[in-house]
Amino acid sequence: MVSGYFLVPDEHGRGAYGAPGRPTTVLLTHIVRYGGTRQVTAAQRIAFRAGLRYWHTAIVALSPYAPHYDDLRYALNQLTGQSARQVQGVLRWDMGK
């Protein structure tokens, strides 16, 4: 989960709710809220890979109930450089090493 509802210290040590806003979180949140497909840039792919390392992510999953599902799938295919597999009702991208 890229985000969640929990209390963490921000960069100034103050309490904050949820995960820090990383570039990929901002991109995917924009798609969830407003939809729309666009070409993912090389910089966004680099930020995505950095985010995977930051979160120690091995799998990316997308629920068919996500808002703007097709737009998210398109963006995630571009970010990961691969097509997702259908696994137990969700789309899954294996990001293992």
Domain that holds residue 32: 22-94
Look at residue 11 and tell me if it is in a domain: no
Look at residue 37 and tell me if it is in a domain: yes
- Name residues whose C-beta falls within 8 Å of residue 89's C-beta, 6 or more positions apart in sequence: 64
pLDDT at 15: 78
Mean residue pLDDT across the chain: 87
Look at residue 51 and tell me if it is in a domain: yes
Look at residue 77 and tell me if it is in a domain: yes
pLDDT in tens, 16-42: 776 667 888 889 989 999 998 778 999
Question: Counting beta carbons within 10 angstroms of the beta carbon of residue 43, is it exposed (0 to 12), middle (13 to 18) or buried (19 or more)?
Answer: exposed
How many separate domains does the chain show? 1
Look at residue 79 and tell me if it is in a domain: yes
pLDDT at 50: 93
Q: Tell which wins on pLDDT, 23 or 11.
A: 23
Q: Tell which wins on pLDDT, 13 or 58.
A: 58
The Cα 96–Cα 59 span in angstroms is 7
pLDDT in tens, 66-77: 999 999 999 999
